[in-house]
Amino acid sequence: MSDEGTGGPRAVAVAAVEAQVARVPLEQATAFATRRVTARDYVLVTVTGDDGVTGHGFCYAGSSGGEVVRTAVTELLAGVLLGRDPFLVERIWQEMYQEALLHGRTGSVMRAISALDIALWDRNARAVGLPLHRMLGGYRAETVPAYASGGYYLQDKTPEDLGAELAAYVESGFRAVKMKTGRFSPAEEEARVAAARSAVGGDVLLMLDANNAWSDLPGALRTMERLAPYDPFWIEEPFSPDDVDNHARLARATPVPVATGEIEAGRWRHKELLEKEAAAVLQTDAAVCGGITEFRRIAATAASHGVPVAPHWFHDLHAHLVAATPNCTYVEFFPDDRVLNFRRLVDTQLEVRDGELVLPQTPGLGFGFDPDALERYTVPGSAATASAA
């Protein structure tokens, strides 16, 4: 029996899979607690059905790893999609995962799976004429809560400059903001957080992102003891993503909720975070974890544990998922393109209203890749197409 079902002839099949690498430089080098970024590689995927309907997917591939992910898309995984009914998303996901078992169940290969899965969902929503958030079931209909993400380390940036930046986000309507921490000494970090709290006031949620700053529990506690009095809403990624046990120990030792999961892939690693109580908030990223299909499984598992999900990055994508998922709380929104410069690649930007993101009402994700931007930023020789015979 065909896996395409028995309800009559197949109406549509995947005819082509295209992928390319866009490398977008940062106008100003930006630092986190543990690394410095000068450019970002994004892998952009388009899946086209033989009905002519296309869908877009994408992922972040670091500062120079785009070609690795692009190769996984076109050489390893595209053949799983070609000729298949694009509405068999779950079946295609499982076969992509099986195809990739020997090459990596996390990292670049899972990001390639994520990009293709996102493209399928986008294509299918466009095919039926629905915004993606409604295609996924719909929970919020018009807007979704968001926090303004920033507070990066820049050369000569003072605590007062940091406070002014975050205060500007609040003045524009956001009631939650996020800043980086963990790069400097505990005393210096306290000065930064104190300035931020003073600038935004006591009623605004202030998230802290450490980006894997600490390697041991005593070091983390030493800083957190100084930061806790400023009422952080969470401390994000305090340790390496592989150090699940220390996340759990810190969660037991500090009153500040621990948030993590943005680099995790697959439901099984997220299950470990939940079972060990290593995360009070999951930050699952659909462009990392295995796409929209796997994101939904992870969010449902988190709901069974009473844990909220606040997805990482890519507000253009995650606005739809937060809108469709009851235990998703916030979209991470970047007010400018200085750090998350993916927005330079798309032709439509999300509207902000009173600190919330207005949901697109056009089919699919609600945006496309901007042709002029692709011409400017595509890495020469990185574009490839796989087509059905």
pLDDT per residue as tens digits for the range 191-240: 999 999 999 999 999 999 999 999 999 999 999 999 999 999 999 999 99
Q: Supply the mean pLDDT for the chain.
A: 95
Q: How confident is the model at residue 376 (pLDDT cuts 50, 70, 90)?
A: very high
Distance in angstroms (rounded) separating the CA atoms of residues 131 and 361:
6
Could you count the other beta carbons within 10 Å of the beta carbon of residue 306? 9
What SS3 state is found at 24? strand
**Integer angstrom CA distances of residue 290 from 45, 108, 124, 235, 270:** 15, 11, 18, 25, 12
Could you count the other beta carbons within 10 Å of the beta carbon of residue 332? 24
- In whole angstroms, how large is the CA radius of gyration of the chain? 21
Whether the pLDDT of residue 259 is over 50: the answer is yes
- Alpha helices, DSSP H, located in the chain: 66-71, 78-81, 89-99, 107-128, 132-135, 159-171, 186-200, 217-227, 244-253, 267-275, 286-289, 291-304, 315-324, 371-377
pLDDT tens, 156-183? 999 999 999 999 999 999 999 999 999 9
Q: Which of the residue ranges 8-12, 60-64, 94-98, 114-118 would you say has the lowest mean pLDDT? A: 8-12
Is residue 43 a contact partner of residue 21, using CB atoms and an 8 Å limit?
yes
Return the pLDDT at 2: 46
Return the pLDDT at 36: 81
Placement of tokens 């949620």 in the chain: 205
One-letter amino acid for residue 220 of the chain: A
User: Which residues are tagged catalytic?
Assistant: 180, 312
36 compared with 67, residue with greater pLDDT: 67
Distance in angstroms (rounded) separating the CA atoms of residues 295 and 125:
17
Angle at 57 between CA 333 and CA 88, to 5 degrees: 125
Burial class (CB in 10 A: 0-12, 13-18, 19+), 112: buried
Is residue 253 a contact partner of residue 226, using CB atoms and an 8 Å limit?
no
| Nearest by Cα to 220 from 181, 271, 194, 191 | 181
List residues bridging with 387 in a β-sheet. 16
Is residue 314 a contact partner of residue 342, using CB atoms and an 8 Å limit?
yes
**Domains in the chain, start-ordered, CATH in brackets?**
14-130+369-387 (3.30.390.10), 134-358 (3.20.20.120)
Whether the pLDDT of residue 294 is over 50: the answer is yes
Whether the pLDDT of residue 317 is over 50: the answer is yes
